[in-house]
Chain A
Amino acid sequence: MSLWKECFSNASQALQPSPIREMLHVIRQPGMISFAGGMPDPAIFPVEEFYQCASILEKEGRDVLQYGTTEGYAPLKEFLATWLAPRLGRTPKMEELLITTGSTQVIDLLNWATINENDAIIVENPTFLGSTLNMHNHGAHFLPVSCDEKGMLVEDLPQLIEGALKEGRKVRYIYCIVNFHNPLGCTLSLERRKRLLEISKQYGVPILEDDPYGFVRFDGDHLPSLYSLDQNEGTIYAGSFSKILAPGTRIAWCVGPEDIIRKMTVFKQGTDVCSSVVTQALVYEYCRRGYLDSFLPKIIAHYRKKRDAMEQAFRTYLPKDQVSYVTPEGGFFYWLSTPNIPVDALFDKAIEKKVAFVKGKPFYPLEDGGEHQFRMCYTFASPEQIEEGCSRLGTAMKELL
């Protein structure tokens, strides 16, 4: 196959398989309890409700089987505009809303529209791998900013931006997972949201507010979205049906100023023309029948129990004073720190004991951290598996101390 390899682009020659995917090979063993993948629990998928929505294929078959508009299925867009209004602070216009094939595509399209080779994106350190993979594929330069339990340390931004500008680099946008961060589990505080917007305005650097988990809040009050607080049209808000309905639909959306949405739409024509109209129509019918609203509380209650089960198991089985974590108020993940245990060794030991998690390092885009940190997902495993898995993890830790 040397002929093809000779023809590969520089970017694709350099492309390496994602560390998580490589890890999945190790994890696929009989008896393994996995807290690694960030997947929803299929036990809480609304299978029956979703199946009922197939009726739309009979009623609207001829429209639904045809090519759709690149912007998205109009009835779904209208539903979303209304449904999102409380979160966005107003009902967005149709021209401000784009339906995408999963929220990964939001990042892809935004990068098409904004990034030239070596342009910078500010990202939380650590952050979601899927997003940084796409940014990397577009040749972006990463400007990571540290986080604590209240999210991104926004006061570090001015220096970071000024440093980049001095190097002659264009800083294209700030990528922020605002609620129940992946992998950190933290939520950006209201005070920091306001400050982030000020900095964004001051330096003219817009924000991509990524919010796949925001609707899955277990306790406490929802914080206003950056989008709703923003007075300067500097924010794009991205959301998805992956966590509030099902990821197999691959239906997500973004809301932003008309000019950037228009550009992203043009790039979407070149990447997949439109998202599956069949799936968009099924999702729309699910929403229209009121299932989204009636089922969401069940999903939240289901995952709250699992989070509680995991925290209880941490308290019972993990060695005291050797582990620290922040209790997430929603979302999918715990982020654990083990100052006295290197995570590479812990991972090997854990796999031996048949329990898996994701090591911290791959979440750091410059691989400059995470040696003593790892991510645990509580949504996919059953409560029994959570207890047994944490017990195994505790044993692995104790053996390494």
Chain B
Amino acid sequence: MISFAGGMPDPQVFPVKEFLQATSILEKEGKSVLQYGATDGYEPLKDFLARWMAPRMGRVTEPEEMLITTGSQQVMDLFAAVMLDPGDAVLLEAPSYPGALHALRNRNATFISVPCDEKGMMVSEMPAIIEKAQKEGKRIKFIYSIVNFQNPSGSTLSKERRLQLLEVAKKYGIPIFEDDPYGHLRFEGEHEPTIFSLDKDGLVLYACSFSKILAPGTRVAWVVAPKDVIKKMVMIKQGSDLCTSVVSQALVYEYCRLGLLDSFLPKIIDHYRKKRDGMKEAFREYLPENAEYEIPQGGFFYWIRLPGMDTKEVFYKAVERGVAFVIGESFFPNGGGKEYLRTCYTFAESADFVEGSKRLAQAIEDLRK
């Protein structure tokens, strides 16, 4: 079986040796690293991140504006606890990330979908959507957007739309959750400014993670938001897991302090750029003419439309043929997406791209017979 399904990093590009260098901190700082840590995070790591992120955030954020979490999944879990009563609505991209939907469903949230194109969320549609929902008596608590190289669509919200989104947020009094796990993995083109950095009214919560720029096994992520929001999230975290593994945070910090984050990141980007290109070539060669997809400028995924087909049926055929992907329906909170599928190019071996694409094409062909 060749899997293009799971959205995992390539273990071939994990900085195993570099990470090992960082373990010296367990000897030097063992007594504090093995003790209970502060709920808001390991202070040296928070200081590092505030400075390292300054170009993206537009300023050096204050310690009280930042919280370290056990993966960015926990950001959604804590934020949802702070914001949502049962039945409250969240405005989000359709399609969106199933893990986020999972955490929101746990809080009995309702979803209001915003359609997307290759420039991300279609912000111009939002006022009508919001006004309709409000007329129906829905309480919209926040807007959730994966701004760069979105999971699953691969699209990036344009700068123009980021500015429009802030206007919408301000006009309707609805804050924004800017989720950015992939933003650092840009293969070409210029970084778009974060919504956080464009915001002048304290309307944005920004989340990022070490999962894609170092390694997901660390389970270290962070969130930056207005102080009163962070304070509430810290109180919830005290009751959820008290603090994130201090051992893990200290190792990540030492890796950063030694300059390894900055020196290794370009290697990760190069590695994934090549894989994106490899999959593109295989798709061009083997996928049917009418398959539609954009070339992502970063991140992990291709999002493919097979006009007139049901990708669930394609999936069963594909698995018979020995290739896996994720069907589009999994990403739509309110239904839809039958013609879509997601493939991930980071985890599979480049050598399997051609064979996997051939099998996918055969599966599609099987159904057309």
Which A residues contact B (CB, under 8 angstroms)?
Answer: 1, 3-12, 15, 17-18, 21, 37, 39-40, 42-43, 45, 47-48, 50-51, 54, 57-58, 61-68, 100-102, 104-105, 108, 112, 130, 133-134, 136-137, 242, 245-251, 267, 269-279, 282
Contacts and interface: CB of A to CB of B under 8 A. Distances in A.
B328 interface: no
Contacts of A137: 81, 236, 239-240
Contact of B219 (A15, A50, A104, A274): A274
Q: What secondary structure prevails in chain A residues at the interface with B? A: helix
A276 B217 contact: yes
A278 B141 CA distance: 35
B350 to A, nearest CB: 17
Contacts of A278: 215, 217-219, 245, 247-248, 251
B217 A1 contact: no
Given A15-B236, A39-B35, A67 B8 contact: yes
Contacts of A1: 202, 226-229
Nearest to B9: A66
Contacts of A11: 81, 85
B219 A276 contact: yes
Interface stretch (B67-75, B128-136, B291-299): B67-75
Contacts of A245: 34
A54 B26 contact: yes
B1 interface: no
Interface in B210-239: 211, 214-220, 226-229, 232, 235-236, 238-239
Nearest to B101: A270
B37 interface: yes
A146 to B, nearest CB: 24
A140 to B, nearest CB: 11
A273 B226 contact: no
B92 interface: no
B236 A50 contact: no
B102 A272 contact: no
Nearest to B82: A12
A248 B247 contact: yes
Interface in B10-61: 11-12, 14, 16-17, 19-20, 23, 26-27, 30-37
18 contacts: A1-B229, A9-B83, A9-B84, A45-B31, A47-B34, A51-B27, A58-B20, A63-B11, A65-B216, A65-B217, A66-B9, A67-B216, A250-B242, A250-B244, A251-B245, A271-B74, A273-B99, A278-B215
A248 B26 CA distance: 11
A271 B16 CA distance: 27
Contacts of B74: 271-272
B192 interface: no
A248 B36 contact: yes
A348 B253 CA distance: 39
Nearest to A38: B36
Contacts of B83: 7-9, 12
B203 interface: yes
Contacts of B236: 12, 15, 137
Interface of B: 8-9, 11-12, 14, 16-17, 19-20, 23, 26-27, 30-37, 69-71, 73-74, 77, 81-85, 88, 99, 102-103, 105-106, 141-142, 173-175, 201-203, 211, 214-220, 226-229, 232, 235-236, 238-248, 251
Given A1-B202, A67-B216, A248 B34 contact: yes
A279 B42 CA distance: 15
Contacts of B81: 9, 11-12, 137
Contacts of A68: 217
Most chain B CB within a 10 A radius of its CB, from A63, A130, A137, A271: A271
Nearest to A3: B173
Contacts of A39: 35-36
Contacts of B20: 54, 57-58, 61
A104 B34 contact: no
B30 A50 contact: yes
Contact of A108 (B34, B82, B226, B241): B241
Contacts of B174: 7
Contact of B240 (A10, A21, A134): A134
Contacts of B240: 104-105, 108, 134, 137, 271
Given A51-B23, A102-B243, A248-B35, 9 more contacts: A1-B228, A40-B35, A45-B30, A67-B211, A246-B35, A250-B70, A271-B103, A273-B99, A276-B245
A50 B26 contact: yes
B27 A47 contact: yes
Nearest to A268: B73
Contacts of A63: 11, 217
Contact of B16 (A47, A65, A248, A277): A65
Contact of B73 (A102, A273, A276, A279): A273
Given A3-B173, A39-B36, A66 B11 contact: yes
Given A66-B14, A247-B35, A47 B238 contact: no
A240 B242 CA distance: 13
B30 A272 contact: no
Contacts of B17: 58
Contacts of B242: 102, 104, 130, 250
A9 B79 CA distance: 10
Contacts of B73: 269-273
Contact of B106 (A246, A267, A272, A279): A267
B232 A15 contact: yes
B34 A65 contact: no
Contacts of B84: 9
Contact of A65 (B19, B99, B244): B19
Contacts of B229: 1, 4
B228 A275 contact: no
B173 to A, nearest CB: 5
A57 B16 contact: yes
A71 B304 CA distance: 32
A46 B144 CA distance: 44
Given A12-B83, A42-B31, A270-B102, A102 B241 contact: yes
Nearest to A247: B36
B238 A133 contact: yes
Contacts of A64: 217
Interface centre among B26, B83, B175, B245 (most CB of A within 10 A): B245
A245 B246 CA distance: 13
A68 B220 CA distance: 13
A322 B8 CA distance: 63
3 nearest A-B residue pairs (beta carbon): A47-B30, A61-B16, A246-B34
